[in-house]
Structure formats: C-alpha cells, structure tokens
Amino acid sequence: MKKRHYLIIGLIVCLTIISLGLFGANSNLINLGFENGNFTGWTGYTRVYSTDVPTSNTPWVQVALPNSRRQVIMSDTTAYDPTVGYLLKIIPKGYKYSARLGDVITSADVTQGNNMGFRCWQQKLQYKLAVDSTNALLIMKFACVLQYASDHSALVEPRFKLTLYDSSGNEINTCTNYDVYSSSNTVKGFQNYTSTNSILSIAPQIQWRDWTTVGADLSAYKGQTITLEFMSTDCTGRFHFGYVYFVADYQPMKISTDFCGSSDTARLTAPTGFESYRWRDVNTNKVANTDTTLSTLAVPMSGKDSVIYHCIMRSATGCIDSLSTTILKYKPVASFTAKMVGTCTDNNVEFTNQSTTNRGRLAFRWDYGDGTNDTISGTHIHHYTTSGHHPVKLIVYNPPSTCSIDTIKDVESINTDLVGLKADQDSICIGSSTGKLRASGAWTYEWSTNPGTFNIDSIKSGLPAGTYWVKGYDSTHNCTSNKHYTTISDESEWMDSIQGHNWFCTGDSTKLYASGWYVNMNKQTGIAKTPLTYRWNNGALTDTITTNKAGTYTVIATDKWGCSRTSPYNVKEKVLPLINFTVSPNTINSKRNLVSCSINQEPSVLYNWTFGDNTGVSTGNSVIHYYNQNLPSALYTIALKDSDTVYGCTNSGTTSILLEPFVPNVFTPNGDEYNDYFMPNYEMDVYDRYGILVYSGTKESNGWDGSYKGKRLEPDTYFYIIHYTDYNNQKQTIKGYITLIR
C-alpha cells in the first residue's frame, strides 16, 4: 500500500441474517439465529492486522461476547443504517435480532496519532452446527454497503467473508462461501448512494445492496459437525473500515408435496431462500415456469395419477441446487369407534382405530378430550378421571406426504359416583329468577323441574330460589346415579357504605371510600362474606375515589351475581382563611427596627407569624417584632400561616421588608463613649468643605473619630461617601453630609 498524506475511507457494510427456521426448534441449533437476543452458542475472535504498521499486529484471540463495538447484538427492529442515508434496515423484516461484526470509523479513530495512526480491526464469529435431515439446507441473508477506494488493491481493502469448515477444519468448497472486498461488487443488484458524512467526504460514493438470501446444501455432511464462520475486516493499511450485521435459517433439503383427498391441485413447496426457481414437468419435459422468485408451484392434477417435477434453485451468488419429487395423491380417512367397557363405576372406554389410506403410511394423534393425548395406532382402552361427555379428536397423518385429516366424536364414559350438581351461586338477588345449576358426570339427566324427562341438557337457568335435584344416566339407562340435591337461596343480608370527609379545602381534595359486602348463605361452607364491585357516577370502577369538586357522588355496589344498590354522598368545598395581612414599615434600619403586622380576625382561625430572622413564632392577628441583627443590609421574609380550627384548612402568604444601613446626620466625638465614632466597619471617605480627604476607612475600621492626621477638627459639616454590599451581593453607595459637634 503506497504512503499517503491524506485519508481515504474505504467502507464495507455487509448485513447477513441467520434465524430459526420454520420447521421447528432443533436441539443441535440452539440460538443459531440469535433468537435468545444474545451470543449463546457462538464464539468470538478478534485481531489487529496492518500491512502498513506490521509491528502492531496481534494474533487471533478468543474474546468474551458481546465485545464493545466489535461484536454486538442489535435489537432495534425499526432502525436503519445511517451510512447509506437510512435506506437499509439493520434487522430485516421478520427477525427480532441480528449481530454486528465491527463498527463504522469515528473521528477519534481518524485523529489518533496526528493522522498517522491506524485501526485495522479484524473480527469473526463461529458456530458449530451438527448436520441432520432437518437442517440440511442452511439459509443465509446478507446486505452489503461498500465504499469504493480506487487506489486500493483488493487484498488490502475492507472485506466480508462467509466460510463453512468441515469437522476436520478444512474449508468446504461450496458455492455458498462468500468472500467480497469493497471493490469486488460482483453480486448483482447494487445501488449507489453519495454520503454526506464529513468523515467520508474524500470518497463519498457508496455502493450498497439490499437484503439477499443464499442457501447452502449440507446434505453431504449429515452426521458431521461443521463450523459456520462470519468475518469482517478493516482495510489492512490504516483507516478504511468494514462491518457486518448477520443472523441464518435452516430447512430440510426436500420438496414438500400437498396433494390430498378430493383436491385436483397439487401444491409443491421448495426450500425458501433462493433468488429464483425453475420448475419442470419431467414426464412431458414441459417447463412449468421460467425463473421466478416464488418457491411454491400449484400443479393441476385432474385426470393424472403420478407426475414427476424437477426444481432448479439458484441463489443470489449463482449457486445452483436441484431437487425432484413425484406427485402422488394421498387419500387418508380418519375413523374410529368407541364403547364403554366394565362396570358403571369403571369409567373405561375402548377405542378402535379404523383409519385407512391409499398409499404411504399412517401416523396418529389422539386427543381424548380430558387434557391427555397419545399416538397409539391400534385398539386400546382409555381410563377417564371425569365422567360424561368427552369430545375425542383423532388426527391422521399420511407421510411422506403432508396430508392430514381429523375426525371428532362425542364419546361417553360413566362413573355414577362422579355424577354431581352445583349452583353457579348459592344465593341470588331477592325476588329474582337468576339461579343457574350445572349437572355433570352423565350422558343424560333427569331434573326435578321436569321429572320423568331425560335429555343431555346439563344446565338449568332462570331458576328462582328453591331446592332442586338431578339424576344422571348413561345412554342405555343401564347405569343410574343417586339423586343429587342443592339449594338456591335469596340473599339474606346486604351491607354497603361510603366513608371519608364530606368536605375538602379549596385547592385540596378528599378521598371517598366505598365499603361493604353481601352475606352468602352457603349450605356447604357456612356463612361467607363476599366483596362487592363498585361503579361511581364519575366513571371510576374502584372502591376509592379522590375528588376536588363539590357535589353529590353516588356509587353503585354490585355483587358477582349482578345484585346492586346505590348510595349517595354529598361533598362540600371549604374556602381557605384569608391571607391579606399588612406590614408597616416596609423598610427598617438598626435604629428604627420595629415592624407591626396585622390581619382582620376571622372566626375559628389561628395565626402564626415568622419573621425571617430565626427568632421563633408569634401568634395572634396583630403582632409587633423588633429586628436586632447587626447587618448593613438584609431582606427579611415575613410569613403568615393561618389555620381553620374547625376543618383544618390552612393558607399562607409572605411579604418582604428591607434592612438598610443607618447613617446619622450628627456625631459628637467628645470622648464620652457615646456617638464618638461615625460609621465604624464601613468602607467610607470623608471630605471637608474644601474637598480635602480627612478620613478613609474600610470594613475593618473603627469609624471616623472627628480628627485629621491626629488633630481634632473643628465643628463643621463634612461630606461622606459610603460603600457597602447589600443583601443581594450588589455594591451600593450612600452620599451625604455629617455635622461634627463638640
């Protein structure tokens, strides 16, 4: 590779899919298509290989999966690859996951080492596959995005390689093996895209191919374990990159034929995953169709007995496979007889299989209607644990065809000890006729509502309260049960109520609770309290609602039989206490530090005041407060919380007062320790009437003592400039005159 002083991005993005096939799970193929959303069953390897910087090359090493950016499971089925303008899905339709090998180059990859670095990733994933008749056809899907780099030889370009190895580690020489470099776009169907990514600006032309399917015939390797390997590599120079998404499918390598019963059309299905199919009637040498993308063919068979069809399948990479099948009609018939055997309490049934077919063999699946099944073919006895009617289904399969047929019969068994009667509910709404009884365990029944009449009706509905009986019989009336009694009662007690505050404070809410039960007079278990369901007039279906609106609320309580009652509840809104208090004055200083607060007294309302200076709480509708803080400036928040002692409604409000520095207009520095210093602890300058600076102090100074250069000044008026920082951390200035008196 020639030395270059500029960066060319050579890109390959290949997407290949492996997913679980339509023929069911195979224990030899766990997670072949990443259907578990992880790398179970797969082994990963990585290395670095550069022809420009060979001293940095590393050998292949096995890595834990997933592995950072290089071996990653993709799970967003809605995502598209941004490298080609979001035109290509990273997971194709019908699949939940894919795996990605490698990653697009990033700005960090490009700028490392002052543009003289390299990446040169190579990574691969392997899967060991035990070949049998169920997976002899391996299906792989891929899509490629290739950025062409005109100054590269093929051997240094980004690369995607798909390889199969036999059990000895030798490469299987099959057309399915796929090895493509970024310039060897020999597979037809590519499209062009001009990238707007600034990192790809030197070589923005990208060739990409949408999802393509290829198949590998592994019939010659049945009984062996082969290795499936996917590999992607960067450019072996420095910065050109390649990455691949992939996942596979497996199918039996055969044509399935569906030509059954009275049908005049045979349906042939070849293995899916090939790009084209060509069907031929070998008997007449007639071409049924030219290259088609459909793997199925409908063949008219009226008046025909046996026809041989041949299918040539071509993959997108040019691989060709062929299969043949003989179309024969299969006419399976599903039939069986059933009869009770034994005594009136044995509950046994003898089944005789009478199914037939015109060719092939038969396989069976029995569904005895009691949750059990079997595949037995001959006459056999089945024991039931429940008595009465059983819907028995026999499914007949006719391999090697795909034909199947079934039949269903209502089969009788009897154990008179299992005949029973129960009510859907032991009590019903008073005065209603909603009772329902269910008999079980017999073929026909005699009811107390119509004695002497026998029918298969096991349910009686629309019954009022009362005591009822039923007797059960087999179909011949040779087996008869005892009478079974049960009683339906009118419900005897009902309780329901609404609880919770019937008022709420403005801006708040109240919670209402519906509660209650009805008492069920259960003859077998005694008295039972059964909970209710609820429906409120605001649409809620819960036992509790929260509301912030005044009004009348009703709830309908209903038991599980539909009996209901309605309860009303009136809710009121309570207005909050007023909060329109006054404070005077709004501005204070260290000398004038008293504030007065007041509010008109309302009935049953308590008032609590705080003043923002951590001095506690004052009560009453009218209070005064002194501020004794030694601060130049502050903003205090006065807060009032008032409480309604009847309903607990509270309200609150705040206002602010400002503390400013106190500056006197006269001071008397006469040594009596009273008013001897003017404005201690302030940054201040003082001038006489001639503009001479007679004092300059800081926040650490004791203040001006009326002297200048150690000499007492005469009584006069002086000009001052004071600087201080207020409560908001802002610089402030006060200017004025001070009179010195001695």
- pLDDT band at residue 519 under the 50/70/90 scheme: low
Mean pLDDT of 356-369: 96
Q: Do residues 228 and 138 both lie within one domain?
A: yes
Neighbour tally for 39: CB within 10 Å: 20
- pLDDT band at residue 182 under the 50/70/90 scheme: low
| pLDDT for the residue numbered 20 | 34
| pLDDT for the residue numbered 149 | 65
Asked, for residue 360, whether it belongs to a domain, the answer is yes
Query: 3-state SS string over 5-28?
Result: CCCCCCEEEEEEECCCCCCCCCCC
Mean pLDDT of 316-336: 88
Q: Do residues 51 and 200 both lie within one domain?
A: yes
Which range (183-187, 311-315, 481-485, 644-648) has the least confidence?
183-187
| Distance in Å from the first CA to the final CA of the chain | 100
Asked, for residue 12, whether it belongs to a domain, the answer is no
- Indicate the residue among 474, 490, 506 that finishes a domain: 490
Q: Which strand (E) or helix (H) includes residue 393?
A: strand 388-397
Edge-to-edge strand order for the sheet containing 256-258?
256-258, 265-269, 296-300
Say how far apart CA 350 and CA 348 lie, in whole Å: 7
Asked, for residue 611, whether it belongs to a domain, the answer is yes
Model pTM score: 0.50
Domain that holds residue 700: 666-740
Q: Do residues 39 and 161 both lie within one domain?
A: yes
Asked, for residue 20, whether it belongs to a domain, the answer is no
- pLDDT band at residue 17 under the 50/70/90 scheme: very low
| pLDDT for the residue numbered 663 | 94
Which CATH number goes with the domain that contains 386?
A: 2.60.40.10
Residue 630 has pLDDT above 90, yes or no: no
Question: Could you tell me which residue, 111 or 252, shows the higher pLDDT?
Answer: 252
Q: Do residues 243 and 193 both lie within one domain?
A: yes
| pLDDT for the residue numbered 305 | 74
| pLDDT for the residue numbered 216 | 81
Instruction: Determine the Cα angle at 369 with ends 364 and 370, to 5°.
Output: 115
Say how far apart CA 734 and CA 727 lie, in whole Å: 15
Mean pLDDT of 588-601: 93
- Distances in whole angstroms, Cα of residue 14 to Cα of each of 220, 328, 685: 28, 43, 81
Asked, for residue 25, whether it belongs to a domain, the answer is no
- Indicate the residue among 298, 328, 358 that finishes a domain: 328
Residue (of 41, 44, 297, 21) closest to 140 by Cα position: 21
pLDDT digits (tens, 9 = 90+) for 392-426: 999 999 988 889 999 999 999 999 999 999 998 88
- Tokens representing 490 are 């009118």
Residue 341 has pLDDT above 50, yes or no: yes
Mean pLDDT of 623-651: 92
The answer to whether 279 and 310 have CB atoms below 8 angstroms apart is yes
pLDDT mean across residues, the chain: 86
Q: Do residues 191 and 147 both lie within one domain?
A: yes
Question: Cα dihedral sign for 554, 559, 561, 567?
Answer: negative
Q: Do residues 63 and 140 both lie within one domain?
A: yes
- Indicate the residue among 660, 683, 711 that finishes a domain: 660
Task: Verify cis geometry, omega within 30 degrees of 0, for the bond prior to 400.
Answer: yes
Task: Verify cis geometry, omega within 30 degrees of 0, for the bond prior to 332.
Answer: no
Question: Could you tell me which residue, 332 or 233, shows the higher pLDDT?
Answer: 332
Q: What DSSP character marks residue 107?
A: H
Residue 499 has pLDDT above 90, yes or no: no
| pLDDT for the residue numbered 378 | 93
Neighbour tally for 201: CB within 10 Å: 11
Instruction: Provide the residue type at 65 as one letter.
Output: L
| pLDDT for the residue numbered 172 | 87
Residue 11 has pLDDT above 60, yes or no: no
Where is mean pLDDT largest: 112-116, 218-222, 346-350? 346-350
Q: Do residues 372 and 501 both lie within one domain?
A: no
- pLDDT band at residue 13 under the 50/70/90 scheme: very low
Question: Could you tell me which residue, 53 or 448, shows the higher pLDDT?
Answer: 448
| pLDDT for the residue numbered 6 | 27
Say how far apart CA 362 and CA 393 lie, in whole Å: 16
Residues in Cβ contact with 280 at an 8 Å cutoff, skipping those fewer than 6 apart? 286, 287, 288, 309, 310, 311, 312
Q: Do residues 590 and 680 both lie within one domain?
A: no
The answer to whether 192 and 209 have CB atoms below 8 angstroms apart is no
Asked, for residue 467, whether it belongs to a domain, the answer is yes
| pLDDT for the residue numbered 12 | 38
Asked, for residue 707, whether it belongs to a domain, the answer is yes
Q: Do residues 339 and 322 both lie within one domain?
A: no
| pLDDT for the residue numbered 577 | 94
| pLDDT for the residue numbered 2 | 32
Q: Do residues 180 and 55 both lie within one domain?
A: yes
Q: Do residues 445 and 530 both lie within one domain?
A: no
Residue 683 has pLDDT above 90, yes or no: yes
Please state the domain count of the chain: 7
The DSSP-derived string for 595-654 is: EEEE----TTEEEEEE-SSS---EESSEEEEE-----S-EEEEEEEEEEETTT--EEEEE
- Tokens representing 571 are 């809710």
Instruction: Specify whether the backbone of 68 is left (phi greater than 0), alpha (psi in -120 to 50) or beta.
Output: left
- Tokens representing 485 are 């009694």
Say how far apart CA 491 and CA 495 lie, in whole Å: 12
| pLDDT for the residue numbered 287 | 74
Which CATH number goes with the domain that contains 429?
A: 2.60.40
Q: Is 76 exposed, middle or buried (0-12, 13-18, 19+ CB in 10 A)?
A: exposed
Asked, for residue 694, whether it belongs to a domain, the answer is yes
Say how far apart CA 140 and CA 221 lie, in whole Å: 18
Q: Do residues 210 and 70 both lie within one domain?
A: yes
- Distances in whole angstroms, Cα of residue 527 to Cα of each of 318, 327, 491, 523: 80, 70, 11, 8
Strand partners, 233: 122, 159
Which range (17-31, 127-141, 262-276, 716-730) has the least confidence?
17-31
